[in-house]
Amino acid sequence: MSRIGKQPVPLPAGVQVTINGQHVQVKGPKGELSREFLPEVNISQDGAVLKVSQVGEGREAQARFGLSRTLLNNMVVGVSQGFTKKLEIFGVGYRAALKGQDLELQLGFSHPVVVKPPVGISFDVPANTQIIVSGIDKQQVGQVAANIRKWRSPEPYKGKGIRYEGEKVRILPGKSAAS
């Protein structure tokens, strides 16, 4: 059995959970999320905690047990606290700005790159070289951050590009002149 799957999911104050078979809906101060869970797991509420139990004994049930508990925990944390991903921009002339709700990036192309936020995602630009992506769905926040990073991934010779906060980029040595 999964060690992660056995742990109960605590419900903070202000979070309401509705369980209808395999469909779980979580409402909190930041918003509302719902998900359809697989039949290999059973989800139950016991007071202020949610418990996930394994239904079958097969490999498939074991593989989905811990995953289901983590997805459920991410839903609860998302509607109560939310998730953020921070990106940093390195490079001369590379910068970000907020135009309404849209994110406008200058990344060395002949035109600015405009990124429109999907529903449930918001951008913040505290400095012109920092971007904060925030929302209640952890998977969506990570995917939007990855899509922004994909516009100009860090290159290995000078380190220019968009990277996650704290990400280390190995700088390779350039060509050396033969004498």
Asked whether the domain spanning 83-164 has the same topology as the one spanning 3-80, the reply is yes
What's the rounded mean pLDDT across residues 8-25?
Answer: 93
pLDDT at residue 20, rounded to an integer: 93
CA-to-CA distance for 54 and 66, rounded, in angstroms?
9
- CATH of 83-164, picked from 3.90.930.12, 3.40.50.1820, 3.40.50.1370, 3.30.365.10, is 3.90.930.12
Please determine, for residue 112, whether its predicted confidence score (pLDDT) is greater than 70.
Answer: yes
3-class DSSP assignment, residue 84: strand
What does 144-164 look like in DSSP terms, one character per residue? HHHHHHHTTPPPTTT--EEEE
pLDDT at 40: 85
Distance, in Å, from the CA atom of 174 to the CA atom of 38, rounded to the nearest integer, reads 51
The chain-wide mean pLDDT, for the chain, equals: 92
Please report the pLDDT score of residue 43 as a whole number: 92
pLDDT at 178 over 80: no
Domain spans of the chain, in order of start: 3-80, 83-164
Backbone torsions φ then ψ of 163, nearest 5 degrees:
-135, 160
Per-residue pLDDT averaged across 4-24, rounded? 91
Q: Write down the pLDDT at residue 3.
A: 82
pLDDT at 60 (0 to 100): 78
pLDDT for 56 equals 79
Of 26-30, 84-88, 111-115, 175-179, least confident by mean pLDDT is 175-179
C-alpha to C-alpha distance for 73 and 166, rounded to whole angstroms: 25
Apex 111 CA angle, 107 and 112, nearest 5: 55
In one-letter notation, the amino acid at residue 133 is V
Check the CA dihedral 9-12-18-24 and report its sign: negative
What pLDDT score does 45 carry? 92
Judge whether 75 and 26 are in contact, CB under 8 Å. Answer: yes
Superfamily holding 3-80: Ribosomal protein L6 (3.90.930.12)
- Which pTM does this prediction carry? 0.89
pLDDT confidence bin for 64, thresholds 50/70/90: confident
How high is the pLDDT of residue 2? 64
Average pLDDT of the segment spanning 37-52:
90
Order of strands, sheet of 49-54, starting from the edge strand that comes earlier in the sequence: 9-10, 49-54, 41-46
Structure tokens at 172: 């390779």
pLDDT band at 179; cut points 50, 70, 90: low
User: C-alpha distances in angstroms, 127 versus 8, 96, 132?
Assistant: 40, 8, 10
Nearest alpha-carbon partner for 90 in 142, 172, 157: 157
pLDDT at res. 150: 97
* Of 69, 88, 109, 67, nearest in space to 161 by CA: 88
What is residue 125's DSSP assignment?
-
Q: Determine contact, residues 122/132, Cβ cutoff 8 Å.
A: no
